[in-house]
Structure 1
């Protein structure tokens, strides 16, 4: 087992070399208008941090469109309070959700209709941006002739509940371990596509050419699906390491973590029971069993603890590369077990609930 796990570790390191880094000192020759688009539904806890983050952005040609998507809390009032006096901000009241649409997708569609920018930057309300992120994303788009630049934000483990510490950092692990990044970034293969809704930086012309969010109106995993649409239309998609400049405060309770992942996992696996079984066996054997073997090292020698040390080191590398923290790497066996349970729960669910809405 240890030899196989070492191969997995080496593969993760090699694969990570194809994750595009954001430039530290970006140079942008021209300054196109960029529209920063944010859907918000019951996000009063995030409004102040979000708006203050947007105000610190250093790019000179920006407009901010913030859509209150039928919130039942104080989101709209806080938005108006925090943006008062800044002409760059426009607050939009979202329309009622039509049949056949997913809530967030409809909100993004409305935002795009009102945007004026040459580039459309969709982010989530729980995101905090570093000041030069627009320049960096624009530089990557120009350098690689990319029509969509996306990436997975960093997460602050201290802000996550316990279940969040198990599951949230796995997103980076799956990308660096399972997604062949050379194919993802340098080919048009739709199957090698990943994206994160917290960071979707589109060239507007390409976005409109594929039909925008209307093309994925009924998709719960709309970020991945719209990235696949881009590739289907021969538009280049770049997955970048945006964790240096995009920070996400995703969940505050274990219930939120569970419901958030429950709605995405089985759909993300193309609703395939076979994939659920295969991944359960894979993670059970290689990432849960090492925790069972480790205590035997007290009787039979240190080699029984080696598999556990390797998977923790693999996870630590991923966190160092993308999370800027190695504080949750020790949870790897528990994270793998939680992921297996989550897959089966997601597969068995008859409907999914999120932000007060129900989807099937």
Structure 2
């Protein structure tokens, strides 16, 4: 029995290690574009007084591109509007949002839809207000699209700035999920929507193809555009891609534990936390990243396969931490991070099944 558990753990730990090892060489760091491409950069902002000035100035500091920057102030009640008004640059336009939403829309998707209506360039970059673009980020994003004219949408995970314990425990698992369980080569060989994924913090899209799939209107109720927007493009027949954005942008997604916990729960039921998917994810993640360590707490159950499973799990996390400049503490505490992630997914699922609404940025969404 103990050998069976060890072999099971080893298989479940080796699976994501093998997928990630194959994925990492395929995850390209984009090169700068040829020529001087024109881009529309679109930022939705709701109560972003702590972020918006730095976000806007980082976009405007980009070199080698023509920039149209449009920010939607989505009914902010803080100083967001005043900060935007104080930035004097003809490339910046600000849309005043009303704050109220049409029925059936989530806040971010409605804001992005309105921003896209004002965009005039074929390449549109959707970027969150807490993201800081590097000075060559826009040129390199355009270069990624130039290199593959068939792509309708591309996305990358910015370098995640993690300060609190919850941040460095949980946020590095974004890369584990994207690269350990989703073969990138399927982006080119299989275009089914279920294989599509991205990061909602940073997207670049072709405007003509975005319009062809119905834009954000096609995902109007979603709170997880990192999954639903790439899948909308795939449903429309257009390929999507994933790029390495580690040196293109930085982001501190959540400023404190309550916001982190709420943020991870708001879109959980559009990803892992469904009645059919979560038991599978629990088996994969618990079996491959927690069970090996539990087995090796005792000399009686720490068989050779179990020890090899521990090594495989830590090797994967070390590999990802090195590539994406993640906090080393997240590697050492990896099983705890996985347990915490699974706990958040299960609590989100039970809350949704009980009909509890989700609250985010002052808005309430029914389950």
TM above 0.5: yes
Selected match of 1:61 from 61, 66, 88? 66
| Closer/same/farther in 2, CA of residues 60 and 22 from structure 1, 3 Å limit | closer
Deviation at 1:303, TM superposition (A): 7.8
Count of paired positions: 352
Contact 1:108 1:213 in 2 (8 A): yes
1:193-272 equivalent positions in 2, closer than 5 A: 193-269=196-272, 272=274
Contact 1:39 1:68 in 2 (8 A): yes
Which residue of structure 1 aligns with residue 42 of structure 2? 37
1:1-360 equivalent positions in 2, closer than 5 A: 1=6, 3-4=10-11, 5-23=13-31, 26-29=32-35, 31-81=36-86, 83=87, 85-95=88-98, 96-145=100-149, 146-158=151-163, 161-269=164-272, 272-297=274-299, 306-323=308-325, 326-349=328-351, 350-360=356-366
SS at the partner of 2:124?
strand
| Closer/same/farther in 2, CA of residues 6 and 60 from structure 1, 3 Å limit | closer
Deviation at 1:110, TM superposition (A): 1.0
Deviations 1:106-127 (A, max 9, x none): 1111111112122111000000
| Closer/same/farther in 2, CA of residues 299 and 119 from structure 1, 3 Å limit | closer
Bigger relative contact order, structure 1 or 2 (CA pairs below 8 A, ≥6 apart): 2
| Closer/same/farther in 2, CA of residues 209 and 56 from structure 1, 3 Å limit | same
Deviation at 1:282, TM superposition (A): 2.6
> CA-atom RMSD, angstroms?
2.2
| Closer/same/farther in 2, CA of residues 207 and 300 from structure 1, 3 Å limit | closer
SS at the partner of 2:144?
helix
Report the TM-score when normalising by structure 2: 0.89
Which residue of structure 1 aligns with residue 3 of structure 2? none
Contact 1:280 1:340 in 2 (8 A): yes
CA distance in 2, matches of 1:282, 1:125: 34
Deviation at 1:298, TM superposition (A): 10
Contact 1:297 1:303 in 2 (8 A): no
| Closer/same/farther in 2, CA of residues 180 and 302 from structure 1, 3 Å limit | closer
SS at the partner of 1:121?
strand
CA distance in 2, matches of 1:324, 1:169: 7
Deviation at 1:129, TM superposition (A): 0.6
SS at the partner of 2:321?
helix
Deviation at 1:352, TM superposition (A): 1.1
More displaced stretch, 60-69 vs 272-281: 272-281
SS at the partner of 1:244?
coil
SS at the partner of 1:73?
coil
Contact 1:33 1:116 in 2 (8 A): no
CA distance in 2, matches of 1:273, 1:137: 37
Deviations 1:76-127 (A, max 9, x none): 112222x2x2111111111331111100111111111112122111000000
CA distance in 2, matches of 1:110, 1:8: 39
Deviation at 1:228, TM superposition (A): 1.3
CA distance in 1, matches of 2:301, 2:17: 27
CA distance in 2, matches of 1:235, 1:325: 36
